[in-house]
Structure 1
C-alpha cells in the first residue's frame, strides 16, 4: 500500500493507535480491548460467554458461546444490561435479552506468564436489576492495584429465576449463567495474565482466582437478602419474588445450613437498612415526621408474631438520641435481620466446616453519594448504607457515576481507605487469606453469645477490631424455638 505523503501523519497516528490497542487470543478468537485513562490498565468489555438466551433458549440453562464472527471480537463498548425489573440503576441505559457477557480489566503489562490474582465480581440488585455496565463497578483502578477483575452479567427476574416445572422451566437460570461465566474464566483467564487455578483444585493454594459459586455466592449475597420465611421479611423482599432455590442439583443444599466450603469473607455495612428506609421519603422533614405507629406497623407487617419479641430488643427509646428515631429504628432492625445476623450465621457455619472465615463491618460515612437515587442532602443521614463499600473496594471515588455534573470526590483519607481495602481483597483472591504485610485481618472465631468477635472495621481507616453480634443473636436465639423457626436461621 502506498500512502500519500500528506497523509503520513494521519496514517502513522492510526498505525500507532492500532499497535497500542491491547489484544488477547482465546479459543473463540482474538479479542481487541481498550486502554484505561490512567494508561496503567486495559479493559475488554462485553465478551460473550454464552449464546443469546432467546427463543428456544429462553428459560433454559445457558449454552457456551462458540467462535467470534471472522475470528475477532471488538471488546471496547459496554455490554447491554440484562432486562431489568427494578429502577434503582437508572443510568444503565440499553437492556437486552442478549446480555450474557463479561468484562475484564487487567494491568497493561500483564502477560500469559503473569499469573495474577483474579477477582470475580457478581453485582447485586435483589436478582431483578443491575448490570456490569454500571460505572460504579468499573475495574480500571482495581487492575492498577496489580490484580485482574472480572464482572459477569446474568439473567434477572423471571428470565433468570422463575421456576415452573409444569412448563419445563426448572429455575436458577441466572445461577447457571454465573457458573458458565466462571467456567469461561477458568478456561480463558490465563490469556489475560490471570492465574487460572481453581479453589476446588487441591493442588492450588487456598482461595486463588475463581470461586466455587455454589459454595460461596449464596452464603454471602443470598443469605443477606432473605431469611427463609415469607412472613418474616422486610418490604423490599416482599416486592422481589425471584430468588435462587434449592433444586438438589444446581443448589444441592440450603446454603444457610451448610455454610461456605472455601475460605470466605462475610460482612455488612453499619446502616445497611437506611438505603431502603430513607429513600422512601422526599426530604429529611418528611422522614422526621414518621411516627411511632409507623414503627409498630412495620414490625407487625414484617415479623408477624415475632414483632413483640423484636420490639423488646429494639424499642424506640434506644433511638431517641438520633435525628430520625423512627427511621433509625426501622433501619437497624432491617440491617440486623437482613445482613448482620446472616453474616454471623454464615461465618459460624463455615468455620464448623473447618474452613477459615473473616468478618468485617463497614462504618465509614462517605463524603459523596454513590447512587443516582440518593440525594446529596441526605448524605449524613445515609451513613454507611447498603452498597456504600463498593466505591472503596473498586477504587472509584470520583463519584461522577451518581451525577455526571457532580464535582464531589473522595478525600485523601478516603482514597487511602480504598487502597487498603483493594489490597485486602486482592490478598484474599491471591492466597485465600485477606491479611497483607501492612494489615493483619484476624480470623473469625465464634463466641458463646456472639460478642467480642474479632474482625476488620472499615471506618476512616482499616483497623482490626471487635464486632458485637450479641444483641442481634438474642433476637433469634433466646426465644427458641418460636423466633428461630420464624426467622429461619441456623445459629
Structure 2
C-alpha cells in the first residue's frame, strides 16, 4: 500500500470513528522495511508489527523464526490478532478480536519529539499463560510515552500452542533445539527485536526495562534466569509474579503432552499434532499453576527461579517487585485447586501457629493463599536479590476505588495495571480524582526507574532500597505512597519457616 493510500485510510478512519484525536502519519524504517504508524497528541504509535514469522504449519511448536522483509511502506496503524485463547468473558486485559495462530506482533509508542535516545519499557501481559494480549486498551502505552519513554507491548503464544511438548515432536527436533517454553522463546525473540530496532523509534537498546504482571511477572522472573535473555534487558519489574513456583521438567511435559493428546483422540505423530485446529487445543483448559504451563525445560529456563536467585544466578539488574493487598481474596485453602492444595501438607502444629497468626480460622482462610502464592515469595526474592548486592525495591499496592464492587477491602489481583499504565479509562469500574493521583505517582515511579535504574526522584516519597533498608517497602494507598515495614511479617515468617523445614505443602 502506498503512503498516499495509507494517509487516505487514516483520514477515512477519522471520518468514521466518533471524535478521535487528530492523527497524522509517522514512519520508521527497520531492517525488514518501512512502517507507517500514527501520531496523536504528541505520541507516535506503530501497531501490529511482526517480530517473528507466523508460528503456523511446520513452525507450530518450533522456536520463533525471523519475520520476513517486505517492500514499500507497510501500515502499522492497527493492532494485530490476539493469540489463540478461550473467550474473554469481559477480561479487560485481553484485547480485541480477531484471534489467530499468526499473532507474534508487538506495538510501540514513543514521544513524537525527542532529543536523545530514550529508555524502553517492554510489557509482558498476564493471563495465566492462557489468555491476554499486548493489544488491550488497558496496556495503551501513550501516557507512559508522554513521560519520556518508548513503550513496547507484545503478544506471545499461549496455552498448548505456547507451552507444550510431545515425544513425536521431540523425535523430529534438531539436536540441542530448545522445546516446551515456546511462549518464553517468543518473549526473548521480541526482546531481540527491541535490541535490534529500538533506535528506529527513538529508543536506547542499552536501557531496556521488562515489566509484567501475574503470568507476565512469572515471565519476568523466568527471563531473569534465562541465559538466552541475558543482556537483552537492564532493569526488571515483577508485579504479582509468584516467586516460589516449581516448573514441570521436560519428562513431565512430555508425559502430559501424551496424556492430553490421547484423551483428545488425536493421532500421535508430529503431523497429526500440527494438523489439529488451534481451537481444539483449548480444551480442557491447561493449568497454569498445576504443571501444564510453567515449565523448567532445562534450556530456556534451566533451573527453578527461586533456586537461581538463591545461588546468585539471576540477571544482576535493578529490580522492583511487589504484590497487591488482596490478591486472591476469593480463594480458600479448602478449594479443590492447585492453589487450595498449597497448605495441605502443613502439620497440625504449624497450622495452629499460622491460624493464630491470622487471628483465627476466618483470617487464615481469607489470606493464607495470597501469602503463600504472592506475598512471602516476593519478600523472599527481594531478600535474595538485595543480598546479592543488586538494587531492589519492594512494594504493596493497596489502592481501592470507591466504586470498586468486589466484596473485600483490599486491592485485588491485577488491579494495579491501570495505575501503572495510567489508563484509568480502561478500568472495569468507575474511578475518580484519588485514582488519578495514584495512577500519576505510580506511572511516574515506574518510568523514572526505567530511565535511571532507581524509582526515586522529584518530590515523591522516598522508596527504600532493600539493601540499605531491609524489609521495608513502599505502600501505594488511597492517601498516597508511604514507606513502611512489610505488613504482617509474622505470618510471612511462619510460611518461610515451613520452606526451611520441608516446604509448605510437604
TM-score class, shorter: 0.7 to 0.9
TM-superposed CA distance for 1:478, in Å, is 3.2
TM-superposed CA distance for 1:242, in Å, is 3.0
What TM-score do you get using the length of structure 1 for normalisation? 0.75
1:455 equivalent in structure 2: 473
Which runs of no fewer than 5 residues in structure 2 stay unpaired?
Answer: 1-7, 16-21, 174-178, 210-219, 227-235, 249-284
TM-superposed CA distance for 1:442, in Å, is 1.1
1:194 equivalent in structure 2: 203
Q: What SS class does the counterpart of residue 376 from structure 2 fall into?
A: helix
Alignment of 1:144-183 (within 5 A): 144-168=146-170, 170-183=179-192
Q: What SS class does the counterpart of residue 45 from structure 1 fall into?
A: strand
Q: Does 1:245 align with 2:295?
A: yes
Q: Does 1:434 align with 2:455?
A: yes
Q: Does 1:397 align with 2:415?
A: no
1:205 equivalent in structure 2: none
TM-superposed CA distance for 1:363, in Å, is 0.9
1:384 equivalent in structure 2: 411
- Supply the distance in 1 between the matched residues of 2:338 and 2:194 (Cα, whole angstroms): 44
Q: What SS class does the counterpart of residue 22 from structure 1 fall into?
A: strand
Which of residues 323, 343, 350 is equivalent to 2:378? Answer: 343
Q: What SS class does the counterpart of residue 122 from structure 2 fall into?
A: strand
Q: Does 1:444 align with 2:499?
A: no
Listed one character per residue, the Cα deviations across residues 429-472 of structure 1 (whole Å, up to 9, x for unaligned) are: 1121111122321101499xxxx721211002122222136324
Q: Does 1:108 align with 2:129?
A: no
- Supply the distance in 1 between the matched residues of 2:471 and 2:155 (Cα, whole angstroms): 35
Q: Quick one: structure 1 residues 313 and 297, their matched pair in 2 at CA, closer, same or farther if it must change by over 3 Å?
A: farther
Does the CA-based 8 Å contact 2:420-2:442 persist in structure 1? yes
Which runs of no fewer than 5 residues in structure 1 stay unpaired?
Answer: 1-9, 201-210, 279-292, 370-375, 403-407
Listed one character per residue, the Cα deviations across residues 308-344 of structure 1 (whole Å, up to 9, x for unaligned) are: 4564244389467xxxx85x64341121111111101
1:82 equivalent in structure 2: 83
Q: Does 1:35 align with 2:59?
A: no
Q: What SS class does the counterpart of residue 118 from structure 2 fall into?
A: coil
Q: Quick one: structure 1 residues 80 and 331, their matched pair in 2 at CA, closer, same or farther if it must change by over 3 Å?
A: farther
Q: Does 1:315 align with 2:355?
A: yes
2:251 equivalent in structure 1: none
2:367 equivalent in structure 1: 332
TM-superposed CA distance for 1:226, in Å, is 5.9
2:304 equivalent in structure 1: 254
Does the CA-based 8 Å contact 1:427-1:436 persist in structure 2? yes
Which of residues 414, 419, 432 is equivalent to 1:411? Answer: 432
Q: Which 10-residue stretch deviates more, 387-396 or 40-49? A: 40-49
TM-superposed CA distance for 1:163, in Å, is 2.6
Q: What SS class does the counterpart of residue 492 from structure 2 fall into?
A: helix
TM-superposed CA distance for 1:474, in Å, is 2.9
Listed one character per residue, the Cα deviations across residues 361-410 of structure 1 (whole Å, up to 9, x for unaligned) are: 001112345xxxxxx3x2x52630101110000001124x63xxxxx642
Listed one character per residue, the Cα deviations across residues 245-268 of structure 1 (whole Å, up to 9, x for unaligned) are: 333321232211122421111100
TM-superposed CA distance for 1:415, in Å, is 1.1
- Supply the distance in 1 between the matched residues of 2:221 and 2:452 (Cα, whole angstroms): 15
2:344 equivalent in structure 1: 304
Does the CA-based 8 Å contact 1:162-1:171 persist in structure 2? yes
Does the CA-based 8 Å contact 2:208-2:450 persist in structure 1? no
Q: Quick one: structure 1 residues 417 and 299, their matched pair in 2 at CA, closer, same or farther if it must change by over 3 Å?
A: closer
Does the CA-based 8 Å contact 2:110-2:145 persist in structure 1? yes
Structural RMSD (CA): 3.7
